[in-house]
Amino acid sequence: MDTDTITMPKVHHGRNVKRFRDIMGIKQEVLADALGVSQQAVSKLEQKEVIEDETLNKVAEVLQIPVKAIKNMPDEMAVNIFANTFQDAAAVNHYNCTFNPIDKIVELYERLLEAERKNK
């Protein structure tokens, strides 16, 4: 086994562009407009494993992130960032009902019956 070999994690520029765009809440159409291309061109761009430096510089400028972030963020790191970010947010958004919905239905039914009895 050769201990001098280092395996670099796989980096997909297009997926990284999509991830950063999604994190910032920017739609493909908005990015396309800022880059002066069509939405379909942005869609194709996000499918490319390697994006040319000139295009990466433009995308990074529009998204206001360093080019290195797009070039160097491996898939594993992105998944980890999303998992940690959304796990915490999900806990905040849980809705705990403070009443029994069936009790409310029974109350409504009883009021309807009472109203019907009064109208007879």
pLDDT value at residue 86? 46
CB burial readout 100-119, b (16+ within 10 A) else e: eeeeeeeeeeeeeeeeeeee
State how far the Cα of 28 lies from the Cα of 22, in Å rounded to an integer.
Answer: 9
pLDDT value at residue 102? 80
For the stretch 85-113, pLDDT in tens is: 444 444 445 556 676 778 778 888 888 88
Low-confidence ranges of the chain (pLDDT < 70): 1-9, 75-97, 99
The tokens 């942005």 sit on which residue?
42
Vertex 104, ends 101 and 106: CA angle to 5°? 115
State how far the Cα of 79 lies from the Cα of 71, in Å rounded to an integer.
Answer: 16
pLDDT value at residue 97? 61
What single-letter amino acid sits at 49? E
Q: Rounded to 10 degrees, what is the CA torsion of 86, 91, 92, 94?
A: 120
